[in-house]
Amino acid sequence: MEQVLQQIETFKKEIEALQIDSAKALEEYRIKFLGTKGLVKSLMGEMKNVANEQKKAFGQSMNEFKQFAEAKYEEWKALAGDGASDTAAKIDLSLPGDALPIGSRHPISLMRNRIVNIFQRLGFAVAEGPEIDDDFHNFTALNLPENHPARDMQDTFYISTDPAWLLRTHTSNVQIHEMQKGKLPIRIITPGRVYRNETISARSHCFFHQVEGLYVDEKVSFADLKQTLYFFVQEMFGKDVKVRFRPSYFPFTEPSAEMDISCLLCNGAGCNVCKKTGWLEILGCGMVHPKVLENCGIDSNKYSGFAFGMGIERPALLKYGIKDIRLFSENDVRFLKQFTGAV
C-alpha cells in the first residue's frame, strides 16, 4: 500500500510537470493515464493486494488521483480549443489564409461597358429586350417587309416549331419595343447578343454582340448624329483619331452612313489590319426612316431621330490584340484569366 501511494505521488508530480501543447501529446497522455490499459486502471487493480482495513483509505487516494488526472485532461482539452479534436488543434490560426482565385470580366463585357459608359455620360439610358422575338419587331417594323431582298442580308435562325418567331439578328427589336411604348423623347442604347446563320470562322460567328443607339425627339438632325458619334470616338479611341463618314444603305435609316476611324495600328499609313486603306470601319448609322417611326405609331412630321449600330467583337479584337473571334465563346480559363484587373 505504501509503495502504491508513493507511486501516485510520483505520477502526480509527473503530470504537474507535463507540457501538453498538441493534440498528439494530449492523446498520448490520455492513453498513458486514463486509457483502458492506462496507469489509473492498473493502480486500481492493486486494490486486491491491499489489506481489508486499508482498502477504504486506498480507494480514497485512488479516486483522488483519478479525478486529478481527469481534471488535468479536461483542462488541456479546453485550452486546445473546440474539443481538442485533431483538426482544431492542428489549425494554426496565425497562418495567412489561402487566396481565393479572383474571377475576371469577359473582354466582351469590358468593351460593352466602355461603350455604354460613354453614351450614358451623354444622357443615353440602357434598354434591353428579348433575344427571341417575332418577325414584326426584328424585320417588318424596321422597313424590311416580307420578301424584301434586304432580309437576305441577315441569315436568320427561325424557331423550328413556329417560324413566326426568330433569334433576333440585331438589337433594333429593342428600339421598336421602346418606340411602341409611345413615351417621347427616347434616348437609349441597347447592348446585347444577336444571332446570324453564318459559318463559324476566326472572323465571324453565328452569334455576336452589338450596341445600338436611338435618339428620337423633335428636330433631331444629322449634325446631332455626327457630333454624338464624334464624341464617342474621341472618348473611346483618343483625341488624335480621325473620323470619316461614307454614304451607305440600310432599310431602316435614310440617309444612311458608315463611319470609319483612322487605323489605330498604323495611324492611317496603311497596314495589314486596315488592309492598306488607313481606315477602320466601326459603325453604321443614319436618320431613322420615317416609315420606321410610323410603324411604331410616331408622327414622322413632328419627330425625327438618329440611330447607329456597332459590333462589340471587332473593337475588342483590336484593343486586346486577339486574332480569333472564337476565343470569346470558348470559355478557356487560360484565355479569360488574362483579363483579370483589365478595364
Residue ranges for the binding site for Mg(2+)?
A: 254
80 vs 257, beta carbon nearer ligand 2U9: 257
Residue positions forming the annotated binding site:
254
Q: How far is the CB of 322 from ligand 2U9 (least distance, A)?
A: 17
20 vs 127, beta carbon nearer ligand 2U9: 127
Q: Are 59 and 2 in contact (CB under 8 A)?
A: no
107 vs 286, beta carbon nearer ligand 2U9: 286
Q: How far is the CB of 178 from ligand 2U9 (least distance, A)?
A: 8
89 vs 216, beta carbon nearer ligand 2U9: 216
Name the site residues for ligand 2U9 (rule: CB under 6 A): 170, 172, 175-176, 210, 212, 214, 250, 252-253, 283-286, 288, 292, 307-311
Cα 217–219–223 angle (5° rounding)? 105
Q: How far is the CB of 119 from ligand 2U9 (least distance, A)?
A: 14
For the chain, give the longest Cα–Cα distance. Answer: 123
76 vs 169, beta carbon nearer ligand 2U9: 169
Q: What is the DSSP letter of 199?
A: -
With CB atoms as reference, the residue minimizing the distance to ligand 2U9 is: 284
Q: How far is the CB of 337 from ligand 2U9 (least distance, A)?
A: 28
Q: How far is the CB of 310 from ligand 2U9 (least distance, A)?
A: 5
Question: Using CA atoms in the order 37, 38, 44, 50, what is the torsion angle rounded to 10 degrees?
Answer: 90
Distance CA(221)–CA(48), nearest Å, equals 113
Q: Which long-range contacts (CB under 8 A, 24 or more apart) does 4-9 make?
A: 4/43, 4/46, 4/50, 4/58, 5/58, 5/61, 7/43, 8/43, 8/61, 8/62, 8/65
Q: What letter represents residue 277's amino acid?
A: T
